[in-house]
């Protein structure tokens, strides 16, 4: 059967996108997921029905995304990554009637951290292990699928992918093996591939991509995943035309650079500092802002004396050149894996009667940091999870139990900001973990191994207190907690707020929830079976508002879903609407 066939039988379609899925979530010895090996890979691209809608997203459309009532064009809907929609059709009065109108089965059962992109009625998603799929955003009808054949890569923390970018008639996809591809947005065919040798330092196996890219002014911005290797993290810009490298900003400060004196010896050259999240763009001031992860080795700092800039920091660079502007370090000289991995969100705060352009990031350390986005000056620092008195005790070979643990605080979860409430909304994790050091492995040339050179590890200690999660609303003007709702299990995924003062999110239980964003009162829930640990989005097609969210389980939820007698993974994307609308 031709890959261009206009009619694909369901059995073939399941085969085309599902080969290898059974082995997708196999584990390494340390319990982390690894990439599958597949004897017979599926076709690279399968086009069931070419897209007929206009999906040629322009710069003008992306710059005006805040005024677009129909589409979700960017990872955080707008360049400021607020994940706020001006739609009001679904509101407190009718949200209780919200029902699924379509259930998409992707055929890939694996942790699904993707924020979908919706363009003129077409929904673009990426599953675990980088399968990209396009669907009708109302009916869920399959349009096309891209099934990459991935090279060997030493991924740190599972084959999750957080999203794609759609612009200029292309879909941009950073891959787990360190390549970046551009696909035709109508057919899924490969337009170009940026190979490791052209865009990565050596050894290539140290570098992977799991975050959603950001497209801006002819550039696609990507950041590397994993700080568990003797490597140097980065954010870089590739040409959207051909994938050529345009600039790279390294996230460990070298001698002669600002912060270059915060590393001893040459430790900066292998100091980690991955960028797990999608940069936000301050268009007016020409800035890209993002959070940087932990230094390497994770749990021992003897060979990297100093504060280790720019790790565990909010960083601002010139979006056109990649030149450094400023950084605010949340945890200097990190020894606890308290890295900053969730996206930065931009907004204006009213401080002492003056409007200040601001940015916020919720770190694993358990504080939401609000800074002046032009200078990096700290404005507010708000705790939102449980914190033990010994959370900053120096780890040793003797186990220490403290909290937050390795999952935060906040892990990768996307925040939201509502200009109506002036609240930034975050998902939280309350778990106790023990931490212990072990000898740091010597660097062995040409040898790549899982989580190389961490210098220690962590283990959950649920007997210290019952783990839980929360949703926090923090007023950006005052830094004070507006409200907080506790959840039975830790929260991963993301938050959406709307102009009807609704807040949508999901839970490990399989529930999709709606809350009043002003008060935190729960207004609606719908159970999708598998854990909902993905960010929801909303959009409008032919005047009807829809909500879309993935239910494919939670990579960090194995213990919890076992206790709930649920499968850890699923493969569903659900599309909701109010009946009659």
Comparing CA positions, the residue from 150, 145, 111 lying closest to residue 128 is: 111
Q: How far apart are CA 333 and CA 295, in angstroms?
A: 8
100 contacts 548 by C-beta, under 8 angstroms: no
Cβ atoms of residues 79 and 65 within 8 Å: yes
Please list, residue by residue across 437-470, b when 16 or more beta carbons sit within 10 angstroms of its beta carbon and e when fewer do: beebeeeeeeeeeebbbbbbbbebbeebeebbbb
DSSP 114-170: ---EEETTEEEEE-GGG-EEEEETTT--EEEEE---PPP---SS-S-----EEETTE
Burial class (CB in 10 A: 0-12, 13-18, 19+), 522: middle
DSSP 279: P
**CA–CA separation, 536 vs 114, rounded Å?**
9
Mark whether 337 is an active-site residue.
yes
Cβ(330)–Cβ(381) below 8 Å: no
How far from chain centre, in Å, is Cα 523?
26
Which helix (DSSP H) or strand (DSSP E) does residue 63 occupy?
helix 59-63
Among residues 136, 337, 477, 571, the one annotated as catalytic is 337
Q: State the Cα–Cα distance between residues 281 and 78, nearest whole angstrom.
A: 9
From the list 441, 468, 435, the residue with the least C-alpha distance to 455 is: 441
Gap between the Cα atoms of 196 and 152, Å rounded: 12
Q: Number of helices (H) and strands (E), helices first, in the chain?
A: 4, 37
- Measured CA distances, 454 to 228, 446, 514 (Å): 6, 18, 39
Sequence-ordered list of residues with C-beta below 8 angstroms from that of 265, at least 6 positions apart, any chain = 303
Q: Is 91 in contact with 500 (CB distance < 8 Å)?
A: yes
Residue 396: which residues within 8 A CB-CB, separation 6 or more?
436, 437
Cβ atoms of 516 and 501 within 8 Å: the answer is yes
How far apart, in Å, are the Cα atoms of 511 and each of 188, 525, 532? 32, 6, 7
Residues belonging to the active site:
337
């Amino acid at each position: 059967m031709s890959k261009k066939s206009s009619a694909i039988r369901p059995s073939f379609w399941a085969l085309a996108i599902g080969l290898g899925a059974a082995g997708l979530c196999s584990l390494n010895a340390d319990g982390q997921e690894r990439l599958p090996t597949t004897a017979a890979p599926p076709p690279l691209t399968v086009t069931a029905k070419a897209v007929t809608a206009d999906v040629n997203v322009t710069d003008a459309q992306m710059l005006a995304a805040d005024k677009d009532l129909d589409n979700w064009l960017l990872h955080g809907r707008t360049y400021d990554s607020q994940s706020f929609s001006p739609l009001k059709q679904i509101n407190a009065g009718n949200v209780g009637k919200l029902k699924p109108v379509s259930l998409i089965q992707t055929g890939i059962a694996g942790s699904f951290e993707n924020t979908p992109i919706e363009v003129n009625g077409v929904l673009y998603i990426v599953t675990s292990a980088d399968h990209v799929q396009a669907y009708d955003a109302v009916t869920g009808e399959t349009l096309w699928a891209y099934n990459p054949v991935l090279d060997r890569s030493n991924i740190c923390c599972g084959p999750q992918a957080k999203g794609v970018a759609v612009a200029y008639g292309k879909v941009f996809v950073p891959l787990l093996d360190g390549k970046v591809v551009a696909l035709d947005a109508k057919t899924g065919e490969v337009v170009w591939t940026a190979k490791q040798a052209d865009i990565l330092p050596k050894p290539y196996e140290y570098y992977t991509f799991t975050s959603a890219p950001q497209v801006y002014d002819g550039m696609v911005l990507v950041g590397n995943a994993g700080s568990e290797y003797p490597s140097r993290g980065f954010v870089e810009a590739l040409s959207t035309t051909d994938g050529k490298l345009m600039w790279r900003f390294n996230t460990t400060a070298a001698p002669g650079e600002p912060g270059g004196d915060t590393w001893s010896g040459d430790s900066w050259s292998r100091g980690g500092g991955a960028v797990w999240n999608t940069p936000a763009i301050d268009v007016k001031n020409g800035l890209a802002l993002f959070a940087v992860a932990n230094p390497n080795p994770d749990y021992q700092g003897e060979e990297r004396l100093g504060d280790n800039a720019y790790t565990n920091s909010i960083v601002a660079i010139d979006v056109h050149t990649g030149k450094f502007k400023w950084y605010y370090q949340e945890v200097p000289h990190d020894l606890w894996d308290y890295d900053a991995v969730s996206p930065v969100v931009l907004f204006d705060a009213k401080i002492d009667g003056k409007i200040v352009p601001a940015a916020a990031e919720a770190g694993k350390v358990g504080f939401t940091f609000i800074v002046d986005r032009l200078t990096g000056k700290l404005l507010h620092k708000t705790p939102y999870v449980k914190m033990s008195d010994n959370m900053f005790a120096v780890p040793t070979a003797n186990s220490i139990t403290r909290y937050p643990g390795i999952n935060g605080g906040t892990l990768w979860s996307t925040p939201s900001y509502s200009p109506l409430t002036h609240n930034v909304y975050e998902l939280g994790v309350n778990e106790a973990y023990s931490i212990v050091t072990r000898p740091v492995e010597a660097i062995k040339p040409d040898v790549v191994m899982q989580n190389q050179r961490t210098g220690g590890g962590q283990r959950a200690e649920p007997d210290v207190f019952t783990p839980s999660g929360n949703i926090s609303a923090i007023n950006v003007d005052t830094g004070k907690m507006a409200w907080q709702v506790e959840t039975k299990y830790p929260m991963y995924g993301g938050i959406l707020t709307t102009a009807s003062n609704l807040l949508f999110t999901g839970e490990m239980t399989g529930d999709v929830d709606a809350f009043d964003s002003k008060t935190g009162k729960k207004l609606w829930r719908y159970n999708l079976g598998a854990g909902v640990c993905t960010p929801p989005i909303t959009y409008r097609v032919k005047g009807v508002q829809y909500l879309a969210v993935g239910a494919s389980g939670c990579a960090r939820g194995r213990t919890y879903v076992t206790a709930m007698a649920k499968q850890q993974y699923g493969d569903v994307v659900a599309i909701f609407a109010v009946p009659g609308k």
